[in-house]
Amino acid sequence: MGRGQYQPLITEELELPECAIYNSQPTAPPRTLIDILDETVKAHPQHPAIDNGQTRLTYGELQAEIASRAATMRAACIGKGDHVGIRMTSGTVDLYVSILAVLTAGAAYVSVDVDDPDERANTVWTEAGVCAVLTDGP
């Protein structure tokens, strides 16, 4: 056999059941991050969900914050297929609530580091086609 030529290891076609080809275990149903969060809220509403040393939210409180912000976005016609810019201080409760609220509203978030220059943020958001931007400030 010359260089660059390969001989198949199996020369006849094998008929295997589909589960043997891929996986013998059934797959889990598709779930989103929000689906998983909702299940956790139902199971543990009083357990701490976020604690950054200054602010602490239980899963129930977190869900209420998320629902409120998502409702505000939906009222502004932000939803499925939209892109929302986020530029907030890393590690803050506001950042995490905002990300989850955008996802709950059905949109996608486009995060830009708060320390990046404004020009970079504007370029990223323009290219992504964001329809709104959430920030730390007023």
Banded pLDDT at 131 (limits 50, 70, 90): very high
d(CA 50, CA 57): 5
Note if the pTM is more than 0.85: no
Tell me what pLDDT residue 108 has. Answer: 97
Q: H helices within the chain, ranges in order? A: 18-21, 33-43, 59-75, 93-105, 118-128
* Residue type, position 22, single letter: Y
Tens digits of per-residue pLDDT, 120-129? 999 999 999 9
Tell me what pLDDT residue 7 has. Answer: 60
d(CA 1, CA 4): 9
Tens digits of per-residue pLDDT, 86-103? 999 999 999 999 999 999
Q: Where are the domains of the chain?
A: 32-135
What would the CATH number be for the domain defined by 32-135? Answer: 3.40.50.980
Tokens 């990046």 -> residue: 116
Averaged pLDDT score across all residues of the chain: 88
